[in-house]
Amino acid sequence: NAGVMQNPRHLVRRRGQEARLRCSPVKGHSHVYWYRQLPEEGLKFMVYLQKENIIDESGMPKERFSAEFPKEGPSILRIQQVVRGDSAAYFCASSPGTGDGRTEAFFGQGTRLTVV
C-alpha cells in the first residue's frame, strides 16, 4: 500500500549547490504536483506535471527551478545554485488523471531542504 514516496526526507546543501528532490506517485497515478511550504506558512503551488509533460508551471520561480516527470521513473524537482531563501519543505502530491478539479490529491511526507 505504497503512497506518495519522496526522498530524501531531509537535504542539506551549501549555497550555490544543486538540490534534486524525487517523488514517486501513488501507483497508477499519472498526475504530479509540487508545492513549497515556507516556515509557518501554507503550501504554495509550484508546478503540475503529467507523464513527460509540464501542464502548469505558473508557481515556479522563473530561474534556477525546473521539474520533470519522465515516462519511467520518479518526478524530479531540481533547484540549481541554491540560496538560503530556498530553505523550505517541498511536498509532492499525486492524483489519478481525471482533470475535472474534483479529485483529491495524496501527499508525500515532504523533503525538508536546508541551505547553509
Site for another protein in 57-116 (CB under 8 A): 59, 91, 93, 95, 99-110
Would the CA dihedral through 63, 84, 7, 100 be positive or negative? Answer: negative
Residue 52 binds another protein, judged by CB under 8 A: no
CB of 59 to another protein, least distance (A): 8
Return the residue of 29, 45, 68, 87 that touches another protein, per CB under 8 A.
Answer: 45
Rounded to the nearest whole angstrom, what is the least distance from the CB of residue 34 to another protein in the complex? 10
Per CB under 8 A, 48 contacts another protein: yes
Among the listed residues 41, 70, 81, 116, the single contact to another protein using CB under 8 A: 41
What separation in angstroms does the CA of 51 have from each of 9, 15, 43, 73, 76? Answer: 23, 31, 23, 10, 12
The sign of the torsion formed by the CA atoms of 41, 76, 29, 47 equals positive
Q: Are 37 and 91 in contact (CB under 8 A)?
A: yes
Number of residues that bind another protein (CB under 8 A): 29
